[in-house]
Amino acid sequence: MLVVKLGGAAGIDFQPLVADVASLIHSGEKVVLVHGGSAAADELSHKLGYPPQHFFSPSGVKSRYTDKKTLEIMLMACAGQLNKLLVAALQAQGVNAVGLTGLDGQLITAKRKKAVRAQKDGRVIVIRDDYSGQIEHINSGLIQLLLQADYVPVISSFALSEEGEALNVDADRVAAQVAVAIKADALVLLTNVPGLLQNPADHSTLIDRIAESALASYEDVAQGKMKKKLLAAKEAVAGGISQVIIADARKKLPVSQALAQEGTVITP
Ligand code: ADP
């Protein structure tokens, strides 16, 4: 059993991934797909005249500012369009994919971050109208139900709050939590770089293997959203996943090549 997260960054063609996932499924593998959609959301935000905004947490982690309008745009772009295009592409390859968000069947519940601390002009400010959440629970029963009936879940990273609101949740963290909840054999985080790089500007500086106990020493190497991938990898390994592979989505066989250890492999 495998959880694959497809990055949402620009420049990723998901056809090779879909073809690769389809052949793994046809050979008997059980796969759950999780996706973000940052590029699709950015594109739609610009088209609608409501450009995306980001902020940095006091510890330097970059996040999207998700006010209500941004959340609605993200739902349109990620859950509405990207999720359905992925489902259609999988169906075209003979895979019976079911697209769903974390809201459907309470697949993912989360706690809304009602006061988010952010850096602004050298000061720390508090954002109170953000609709993003901290994952609390994964309904693994629903995922198992689908997998047992030979459906392939394609999960768009939104969650349901205690108050019944839609929340944006980080797709890398969703993938990690889903992998832990269903006791997956591996978690593959596909992105637009070959893995964790010692120097992000030089793709030949791939760090190929990291033990979970050594992850903290790479915190400064990972910038921006790569920090969240390391956090997700840590959560997954701590939750019992025996390997997390951060790998390149642009390869010919992105998932198979990741499983063949091409990328950064994080192990217990
Ligand atoms: P995705 O949408 O695939 O989740 P992100 O854009 O969020 O991807 O994260 C991947 C990006 O992280 C890379 O494109 C790269 O610019 C950036 N990054 C920062 N630090 C590193 C690093 N040390 N190694 C690799 N990528 C890094």
For the chain, which residues make up each domain, given as ranges? 2-53+69-109+138-267
Per-residue pLDDT at 167 exceeds 90? yes
pLDDT in tens, 197-226: 999 999 999 999 999 999 999 989 998 889
> How close is the Cα of 38 to the center of ligand 1, in Å?
12
> How close is the Cα of 130 to the center of ligand 1, in Å?
23
Question: Mean pLDDT across the stretch 234-241?
Answer: 98
- All residues at 6 or more sequence positions from 155 whose CB lies less than 8 Å from its CB, including other chains: 32, 33, 34, 35, 100, 101, 102, 107, 108, 174, 178
Cβ atoms 89, 14 nearer than 8 A: yes
Give percent above pLDDT 70 in the chain. Answer: 99
Q: Give the architecture-level CATH label for domain 2-53+69-109+138-267.
A: 3-Layer(aba) Sandwich (3.40)
Q: What is the pLDDT of residue 13?
A: 83
Task: Band the pLDDT of 158: cuts 50, 70, 90.
Answer: very high
HSE value, Cβ hemisphere, 13 Å, CA-based, for 4? 30
pLDDT in tens, 143-156: 999 999 999 999 99
Task: Band the pLDDT of 17: cuts 50, 70, 90.
Answer: very high
What token pair was written down for 228? 């969240």
Question: Mean pLDDT across the stretch 40-55?
Answer: 96
Give percent above pLDDT 90 in the chain. Answer: 91
pLDDT in tens, 76-95: 999 999 999 999 999 999 99
* Distances in whole angstroms, Cα of residue 204 to Cα of each of 197, 247, 253: 8, 13, 20
Query: Three-state SS for 245?
Result: strand
Q: Which residue has the higher pLDDT, 167 or 228?
A: 167
Q: What is the pLDDT of residue 224?
A: 81
Would you tell me the crossing angle of helices 83-92 and 15-26 to the nearest 10 degrees?
50
Pocket around ligand 1: residues whose beta carbon is below 6 Å from it?
Answer: 7-9, 36, 38, 191-193, 196-197, 200, 221-226
Residue type, 128: R
* Residue matched to tokens 């010692």: 198
Task: Compute, in degrees rounded to 10, the torsion defined by CA atoms 232, 236, 242, 244.
Answer: -20
Per-residue pLDDT at 10 exceeds 70? no
Pairing of strands 186-191, 97-101: unpaired
User: Which atom of ligand 1 is closest in space to residue 39's alpha carbon?
Assistant: 2
Question: Mean pLDDT across the stretch 33-44?
Answer: 94
Task: Band the pLDDT of 98: cuts 50, 70, 90.
Answer: very high
Mean confidence (pLDDT) of the chain = 95
Helices (H), the chain: 15-26, 38-47, 68-74, 83-92, 140-148, 171-181, 226-238, 254-259
- State pTM to two decimals: 0.96
Strands, E assignment, 197-267:
209-211, 244-248, 264-267
> How many Å apart are CA 117 and CA 146, to the nearest integer?
38
User: Which atom of ligand 1 is closest in space to residue 228's alpha carbon?
Assistant: 7
Cβ atoms 69, 192 nearer than 8 A: no
Per-residue pLDDT at 123 exceeds 90? yes
Task: Band the pLDDT of 8: cuts 50, 70, 90.
Answer: low
